Structure 1
Amino acid sequence: MLSRLPRTSVSFKFETNLPLLMLKGIGWESNTSHQYVWQGSKRQDEHFLFQYTVSGQGELEVKGRTYQLKAGDAFIIEIPSDHCYRLPPYSDNWEVLFLEFSKEASPYWRQLLNNTGYVVSILPDSFLLQLAWKIYEWSVREEESHSMYQCSSYAYQFVMELLSYSQKIQMSKQLPSKIELCKQFIDAHYAEPIGLKEMAEAAGLSKFHLTREFDKKLGISPTDYLTEVRIEKSEKLLSSTDDNLESIAKKVGFSCANYFSKVFKKRIGITPNQFRKNRYEISRILYN
């Protein structure tokens, strides 16, 4: 199948008031120039990227940490953010398949990062990769009708399959006991006024050692993981209850509604009230 397909890239742009997860772009390319360098902090086009290494080698740098990417490795990243991906000096080719998703992918990407970190190895015969190529084939076929709803459908299919794949990887991992202790402590006490000091005590490590090892194993700091858990729990309350923001903030561990709203908007891109309204609109359209 792949031999019949052109190597190109396709962008999608649809006008809609619905907060739908959308596929913004997809491409298959071979990069042989060492000018292939993407600085994430300098980019303005807000989206989420999945990039799979078909062959050759590439490199991803996130917050000062470098990952070498070989065939079968994929990375997931938010744009813009503090990262850089490039064709490194030791490689003469980096063949990639990439998919770009709209900002509505934010909560899913946070869960993916919690599950696998920035880099994940994907088996070439996996359903996830087969789906990626299927979406690519649909995108480049000129005779296809690229409707907004089909584009969104493929976006949801791929992201859900990626989440499922990442969940299996997470379940197969054996975390060091002290890191697991910290993670369990956060999951159980997120609603309480805990910080790095309490987390380190629960794990039996110094704050410095805990932060280093937690990030090394999970790709995220313990304080950031705590924030992610609190935001995820707040999303469920916003979607399933009529509680006011002050009540929700207290239930998930924030000191007040104002601080909760600031953190929520920074992480998700919209305010808690906008998030609640969007979920209501989607439910009304789907079920009415």
Structure 2
Amino acid sequence: MLTTLLNNGFDLRRLAVQRSAAPLHCMVVSAGYEQRRNEVYSWDGMKRGTAPFLVIQHTTFGEGRLDYAGTQHRLTPGKTMLVTMPHTHRYYLERGGHWEYFWLLLNGREALRLAREILDSAGPVLTLDPPQLDRLATAALDALTIADPSPGQVSVLGYAAMAALHDGVFGARRPDDAALPPAMERVVGFVDDNLAAALHVERLANIAEMSRAHFVRRFTSALGQSPSDFVLTRRLARAERLLLATEMGVGEIARLTGFANANYFAKVFRKRRGAAPLEYRATRFEAG
């Protein structure tokens, strides 16, 4: 299907559908297959408005660049970029470069929730296996060619695209591959059960029955994050769910997720999610 998409040629399309009386929460808004050559091409994730959305962009030829929260990535053929807006990132073409890619733009709070799960686990640059890439290309081609799409049809395309990414990140992991050493399992379980408590590295090392230095090395190797980064990721994920699923105030959510106070929670949340907690809550529901 990727070949069929490429043979369809360069194209852009915005999918204009009537707003449904029963809102859908994962929808393709636009799609395209483009090339950029010897031109200025740069998108700043903090300068694309306040309404939240996400971009999936797969490189087919050439090379783009992504600066994401202080880390630089090369977007070479076979790499799939996933970014949400607003967020501190920039993707661009270097001077004199050439970049070809197909892309999908989605909105809706379920699309954004799935994107956050993928980003927290795998980061913004993915390498999909051929079956998942084929499904993603199919969603893009259908978005470009479907006649008079209905809200339900563009939602199906949105879920198809996000499901392809989800399977590419999570579906390839067999149970045996995902199993953690027992000591790390104890620590992860303790963290998830005690997010409101103080979770210092020394305390987690004691639960793992290891020295602090040895625990940090083992944990980082097994989980792909340092213990402190893992705790923060879990706290922010819990806070995000509470913001979207409850009407709790910022102070109560901060207390339940282990932040020292509401101001510190709001500062960290804004840095990692690109919006203040209540702004994040409001815009997610507007997008849905």
Rounded to whole Å, the distance in 2 between the matches of 1:19 and 1:266 is 25
Is residue 72–residue 122 contact of structure 1 (8 Å, CA) maintained in 2?
yes
Once the two structures are TM-superposed, the CA of residue 2 in structure 1 deviates from its matched residue by: 3.2
TM-score normalised by L of structure 2? 0.70
Q: Name the structure 2 match of 1:88.
A: 94
2:281 alignment partner, SS class? coil
Is residue 55–residue 71 contact of structure 1 (8 Å, CA) maintained in 2?
yes
CA 1:111–1:173 in 2, change beyond 3 Å: closer, same or farther?
same
2:144 is the counterpart of 1:148: no
Once the two structures are TM-superposed, the CA of residue 46 in structure 1 deviates from its matched residue by: 3.0
Note the alpha carbon deviations across 1:167-212, whole angstroms, 9 max, x for none: 1456657999999886555334324343677568878259xx89xx
The count of aligned residue pairs is 264
CA 1:87–1:16 in 2, change beyond 3 Å: closer, same or farther?
same
Is residue 235–residue 257 contact of structure 2 (8 Å, CA) maintained in 1?
no
1:46 counterpart (27, 32, 52): 52
Rounded to whole Å, the distance in 1 between the matches of 2:199 and 2:262 is 17
1:270 alignment partner, SS class? helix
Rounded to whole Å, the distance in 1 between the matches of 2:105 and 2:170 is 21
Once the two structures are TM-superposed, the CA of residue 23 in structure 1 deviates from its matched residue by: 0.9
Q: Name the structure 2 match of 1:285.
A: none
Rounded to whole Å, the distance in 2 between the matches of 1:107 and 1:131 is 20
Note the alpha carbon deviations across 1:118-150, whole angstroms, 9 max, x for none: 111123x22x222222222222226x2211110
Q: Name the structure 1 match of 2:235.
A: 227
Once the two structures are TM-superposed, the CA of residue 107 in structure 1 deviates from its matched residue by: 1.5
Rounded to whole Å, the distance in 2 between the matches of 1:247 and 1:40 is 30
Rounded to whole Å, the distance in 2 between the matches of 1:163 and 1:110 is 11
Q: Name the structure 1 match of 2:137.
A: 133
Rounded to whole Å, the distance in 2 between the matches of 1:138 and 1:146 is 10
Once the two structures are TM-superposed, the CA of residue 28 in structure 1 deviates from its matched residue by: 0.8
Rounded to whole Å, the distance in 2 between the matches of 1:52 and 1:257 is 39
CA 1:20–1:84 in 2, change beyond 3 Å: closer, same or farther?
same
CA 1:229–1:98 in 2, change beyond 3 Å: closer, same or farther?
same
2:72 is the counterpart of 1:66: yes
Is residue 48–residue 102 contact of structure 1 (8 Å, CA) maintained in 2?
yes
2:281 is the counterpart of 1:270: yes
Q: What is the letter of the counterpart of residue 281 of structure 2?
A: I
1:226 alignment partner, SS class? helix
Once the two structures are TM-superposed, the CA of residue 57 in structure 1 deviates from its matched residue by: 1.2
Once the two structures are TM-superposed, the CA of residue 228 in structure 1 deviates from its matched residue by: 3.1
Q: Percent identity?
A: 21
1:160 alignment partner, SS class? helix
Note the alpha carbon deviations across 1:31-79, whole angstroms, 9 max, x for none: 1134111121222153111111112111111122101121111111111
Rounded to whole Å, the distance in 2 between the matches of 1:182 and 1:66 is 31
1:269 alignment partner, SS class? helix
TM-score normalised by L of structure 1? 0.70
Q: Structure 2, unaligned stretches of length 5 or more?
A: none
Is residue 234–residue 249 contact of structure 1 (8 Å, CA) maintained in 2?
no
Q: What is the letter of the counterpart of residue 40 of structure 2?
A: Q
CA 1:197–1:27 in 2, change beyond 3 Å: closer, same or farther?
farther
Rounded to whole Å, the distance in 1 between the matches of 2:19 and 2:82 is 26
Once the two structures are TM-superposed, the CA of residue 30 in structure 1 deviates from its matched residue by: 1.2
RMSD, matched Cα: 4.4
1:26 counterpart (3, 23, 31): 31
